[in-house]
Amino acid sequence: MNDLAGKHIVLGLSGGIACYKAAELCRALIKEGATVQVVMTEAAEQFITPVTMQALSNRPVYGSQWDAREPNNMPHINLSREADAILIAPCSADFMAKLLHGRADELLSLMCLARPIAQVPLLIAPAMNREMWAHPATQRNLAQLQADGATLLGVGSGFQACGETGDGRMLEPQELLEDVIAFFQPKVLTGQQVLVTAGPTYEAIDPVRGITNLSSGKMGFAIARAAREAGAQVTLVAGPVSLPTPRGVTRIDVKSAQNMLEAVMQHAPIATIFVATAAVADWRPASAADQKIKKDGSGQAPQLGFTENPDILASVAQSPRGQSRALFCVGFAAESHDLLAHAQAKRARKGVPLLVGNIGPATFGQDDNALLLVDEHGTQDMPRAPKLALARQLIAEISRRTRAVA
């Protein structure tokens, strides 16, 4: 997938030690299909050379509004008109103040002021010392820049080059890349509260053993990311997996089916869309041993009794909000065979408007998948593709259906 294919990004660097991250960011943007034009302030050139950025972007770097390479001597006009977005990373406290007041005494600030606001968005990745970040003047400037239409990508927290620790670090290149990709995605779920479950559950037999399944959680995490990209507020209830949390998503880690049910029922009252992607264990040991069950030399396996786990999807779908469609419920079915028949039966049994089926052994742990959408009117195939691509297709389909219900 090249999520930025066809996009032209002007990457602006202002002065700060975080300029070293801009090199990796430039490369990451290009790997995602974007073309990148680097523009640097004089201060930025004290931290990283234009030669480095030229080599990474494969384009000449601009730094002066008097650049003779432009026949009309107007790089501030030419470069801004070509851009799909201007990304300032790093954006220093000084440069933010300059943007706020509309000062334009060098090429980068001049270009930001001269850009067509309605066509060329401005994305800001701040980078500064923690005290500079917390200063009331900086916070006022940030608020006004956002009010003027700039998009603030936020800051990280941690050890800073000055030796202090706190907020103000520029986000890591991969985080910024994910934010830029999200910025360009259609905002079809703006205002929605999306609740997603993902991964397996783990049902304890004793303190060191348990019953689980092969679900990796990748599909559910992709759906959470896609929903956030689409403008929703997203809560992700995750079983025991080691995947990184998607940017901007609130994550709740759980272990057992009962833990997952409790977390879901706590957040379902404020959700508007529920996507039950998790592969929840149908059964659990009736009672878990307090100590490890040891072999006794008899060759006989211990006798385990089982009890049925709560049905999380049915519990939510059959609640008053689920029944009224105030909460739009989407179920998942991971089957090993006869996908269509099992998916249709499960949708009817759970009472959900949409059920998504897939073949578990063909997708668990994989980065791609193939989906079958089942509703009361029939079925729709989503051919095998990367899970994030499928997640975005599914989110678009959910958006269409929720608008129809509304």
Contact 70, 78 (CB under 8 A): yes
For residue 162, indicate whether it is catalytic.
yes
Question: Please, are residues 167 and 246 in contact by the beta-carbon 8 Å criterion?
Answer: no
- The string over 42-64, giving b where at least 16 C-beta atoms fall within 10 Å of a residue's C-beta and e elsewhere, is ebbbebbebebbeebbeeebbbe
Do the strands 233-238 and 193-198 form a parallel or antiparallel pair, or are they unpaired?
A: parallel
Sign of the alpha-carbon dihedral angle for 228, 233, 237, 242: positive
Cα separation values, 205 from 202, 241, 282, 291, Å: 10, 19, 15, 10
As separate numbers, helices (DSSP H) first and strands (DSSP E) second, the chain gives 15, 19
- Alpha-carbon distances of 289 from 157, 201, 209, 294, 342, rounded to whole Å: 42, 18, 10, 11, 34
300, HSE (Cβ side, Cα atoms, 13 Å):
5
From 181, 171, 166, select the one nearest 125 (Cα to Cα): 171
Element (H, E) at 126: strand 122-126
Given the residues 26, 112, 162, 329, the one annotated as active site? 162
Structure tokens at 170: 């520029």
Catalytic residue list: 162
